[in-house]
Structure formats: C-alpha cells, structure tokens
C-alpha cells in the first residue's frame, strides 16, 4: 500500500492591496514614513489616527492622486507606484468616496453615477448605473438632484458612483463624519453590510476609534506618519503594543510603577508585567477595569458625574499625583469626599516601559 501523501498547506489569500516601505515628504515634513501593510481580498482595513498622522496622504498615494517618494504600492499583484513605474489614477480601477461626497450639483443622481463610466457605450452606462443605484436602494431617486437628498442618501449616491466601475479596491475618506450620530450609525452599518456582501476590498480612513472597532476586519493605527500597530480590533484593544495605542481607544489611567522580575509594583498593588524589562514603567488601567469594592486601596471621591449608563468618578489615591477615573453602575451612591476602596479587574493591567519623554 502506498504511503499517504500529506495535503499541501493552504496558501494564505493573496493581497488585493500591498503597501511596501512607502514614504512621502512635503518639504521638511515627513507625512508618511516607510509604511508597510496589506489588505486581503474582501477585507476592510481602517486607517486610524489623529489629524495629521498621514492616513489621508496614504489614501491619496494608493489612489494615484500623488506619487510616493519611495516604496511600492501593488494592487492585485500589479505595481501601480514604484521606482520605475507610476500608473495614473484613472487607470488603477480604484474607487473613492470623499468626506464631502463630491457630487456634481448640476447633474442628477443617475448622471452622477454614470460619470465614471464614460468609456462605455451609453446603453451599458445606463444599465450599470441603474444597477449600482438599485444596490444601494436609491433606484427611485435616479432623476433627483443631490441638493434634494438627505445626507445619508448623498453618501449612498457617492458609494454607488464609486462601485459602478467595479473597482479593485474601494477607498473611503471619513465617509460618515458629515452625518449626525444616529444617522451615521445606520448608514455605516448598511454600507459595510453591502461591501461585505459584494466582497469589496475597502480601505476606510477615520479618526474615530469606536467607528474603526465597529467596521474593520483589521486596523492600521498610525502615529506621526508611521504604523504604530497593525492588528484586528480585538488585539488592538486588548493587547496594545504601546502606551499610545492603549490610550487611543479609551480613557486610560496611567499609574507609575517599577518592574522587577516579571512583576510591576504600583500604588494600586502588584501586577504581572509580562515581558517588560526591569525598570520604570507605566501601568494603564481603563475606567471600567477599576471598581468600587468592599476591600482594597483607599481612595477619596473628588467628584461624580452621571453619564446615563455609567457613573464616572474621579478618585484620589495617596501617593498618586493625578486622580483616577472609575466607571461604576449609576445606582452606586457616592458623594464628594467619600472614602471608597478600589479593586482592579484580573489581568486588566496594561504594562509599558516608561517612554523617554513621558
């Protein structure tokens, strides 16, 4: 009997978009510095960070609106920006949805969607545009003008226009930021459901960590033109690679400590330090990981703020220069000046070496 031949290991999915060592400088300012990451087919990647961190510049480089100073950008394996090659934006088959939607006010909805299909015969353009509007639920508004539509409808027209040419990658720059909070959540959820159903590879720029956690398969967190961390939302939130990454996703209590032999000593007690080397450290604790307990570290309530679902307390602990923020159940009766005791949720401490400039 012949020996069984083991099946080959499945290959990882090919990258629909690959960024390799991309940099872009404006005069003396380095806007994007040796950035590398990739997006697989059908994946939604969020570029997240504060204003000026380089995320919109990177989107423009992917779109072909600008050329990088160094590095390579590949779409479906094809180099579209490299040292010896630059494919113009109109030939990259990249769709883009801008923050302000960029709809033409003098064109009706159908003509706006048809605008990117000018190379096709008119009958084909009409059919493709109608199909795109049907996909986003706006077929009945085809002959309306943009100013007659709601903000959510204008966003969907912009999406239909971007999807009509069947792009290889869809780029979205703060696409939901112009909508009020209630409408934003609904339009965002509908848009992401549509993209996932269609298997679209999407790159979404946002400065909102909550939004990124809601929509991304993976988040590329940027800081001063560089990638701070590239991970799934769960990993980024629970296992941040730096103090910056930890503090980006929620309010963070920063408690000084000293690491010795795998543990860190703080005014709140001793915690596992993981792989952090001996020396000064910062322990990050999120407000919901601190709780009022029967026993624990004594603290004085500085003030209490009712936030609806939670009560936010600021409490002062001896030997700490800054009050801690604690989130508790609204029913908890607390008053200014009251002495309470703090407990810390197990494994909640996020331990980082003390930054040089901290």
How does pLDDT run across 317-353, given as a tens digit for each residue?
A: 999 999 999 999 887 678 899 999 999 998 899 999 9
Tell whether 305 and 165 lie within a shared domain. no
Distance between CA 177 and CA 35 in Å, rounded?
25
Using CB atoms within 10 Å of the CB of residue 139, give its burial: 0 to 12 exposed, 13 to 18 middle, 19+ buried. middle
Tell whether 185 and 45 lie within a shared domain. yes
Segments of 130-207 assigned E as strands? 169-173, 202-206
Q: Do residues 227 and 37 make contact, with C-beta atoms less than 8 angstroms apart?
A: yes
pLDDT value at position 87?
A: 96
Q: Does 56 reside within a domain?
A: yes
Using CB atoms within 10 Å of the CB of residue 203, give its burial: 0 to 12 exposed, 13 to 18 middle, 19+ buried. buried
Tell whether 48 and 114 lie within a shared domain. yes
Q: Do residues 286 and 252 make contact, with C-beta atoms less than 8 angstroms apart?
A: yes
Q: Which of 184, 219, 243 is the last residue of a domain?
A: 243
Task: Give me the domain span that covers residue 153.
Answer: 15-243
Q: Do residues 74 and 15 make contact, with C-beta atoms less than 8 angstroms apart?
A: yes
Q: Does 9 reside within a domain?
A: no
Cβ neighbours for 243, distance < 8 A, ≥ 6 positions apart? 252, 254, 282, 284, 352, 355, 358
Residue 198's CATH number: 3.40.50.300
| φ/ψ (deg, to 5) at 135 | -60, -35
Tell whether 127 and 50 lie within a shared domain. yes
Q: How many domains does the chain have?
A: 2
Once rounded to an integer, what is the mean pLDDT over residues 68-96? 95
Judged against a pLDDT cut of 50, whether residue 3 lies above it is answered with no
pLDDT value at position 356?
A: 73
Q: Does 220 reside within a domain?
A: yes
Distance between CA 248 and CA 313 in Å, rounded?
21
Judged against a pLDDT cut of 80, whether residue 11 lies above it is answered with no
Tell whether 74 and 101 lie within a shared domain. yes
Tell whether 140 and 192 lie within a shared domain. yes
Mean pLDDT value across the chain: 91
Q: Which of 243, 258, 287 is the last residue of a domain?
A: 243
Tell whether 46 and 63 lie within a shared domain. yes
């Amino acid at each position: 009997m012949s020996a069984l031949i083991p099946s080959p290991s499945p290959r990882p999915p090919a990258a629909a978009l690959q960024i390799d060592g991309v940099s872009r400088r404006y005069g003396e300012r380095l806007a994007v510095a040796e950035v590398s990451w990739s997006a697989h087919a059908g994946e939604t990647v969020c570029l997240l960070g504060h204003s000026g961190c380089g995320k919109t510049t990177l989107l423009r480089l992917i779109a072909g609106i600008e050329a990088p100073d160094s590095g390579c950008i590949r779409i479906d394996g094809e180099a579209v920006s490299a040292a010896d090659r630059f494919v113009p934006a109109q030939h990259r088959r990249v769709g883009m949805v801008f923050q302000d939607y960029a709809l033409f006010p003098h064109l009706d909805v159908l003509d706006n969607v048809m605008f990117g299909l000018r190379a096709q015969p008119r009958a084909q353009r009409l059919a493709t545009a109608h199909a795109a509007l049907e996909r986003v639920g706006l077929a009945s508004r085809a002959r309306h003008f943009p100013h007659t539509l709601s903000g959510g409808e204008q966003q969907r027209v912009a999406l239909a226009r971007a999807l009509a040419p069947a792009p290889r990658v869809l780029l979205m720059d703060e696409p939901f930021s112009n909508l009020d909070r209630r409408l934003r959540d609904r339009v965002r959820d509908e848009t992401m459901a549509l993209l996932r159903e269609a298997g679209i590879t999407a790159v979404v720029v946002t400065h909102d960590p909550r939004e990124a956690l809601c929509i991304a398969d993976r988040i590329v967190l940027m800081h001063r033109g560089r990638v701070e961390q590239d991970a799934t939302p769960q990993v980024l939130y629970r296992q941040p690679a730096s103090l910056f990454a930890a503090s980006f996703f929620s309010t963070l209590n920063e408690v000084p400590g000293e690491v010795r032999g795998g543990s860190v000593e703080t005014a709140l007690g001793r915690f596992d330090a993981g792989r952090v080397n001996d020396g000064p450290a910062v322990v990050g604790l999120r407000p919901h990981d601190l709780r009022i307990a029967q026993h624990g570290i004594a603290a004085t309530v500085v003030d209490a703020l009712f936030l609806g679902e939670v009560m936010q307390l600021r409490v002062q602990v001896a030997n700490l220069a800054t009050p801690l923020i604690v989130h508790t159940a609204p029913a908890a009766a607390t008053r200014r000046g009251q002495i309470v005791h703090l407990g810390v949720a197990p494994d909640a401490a996020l331990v980082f070496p003390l930054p040089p400039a901290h």
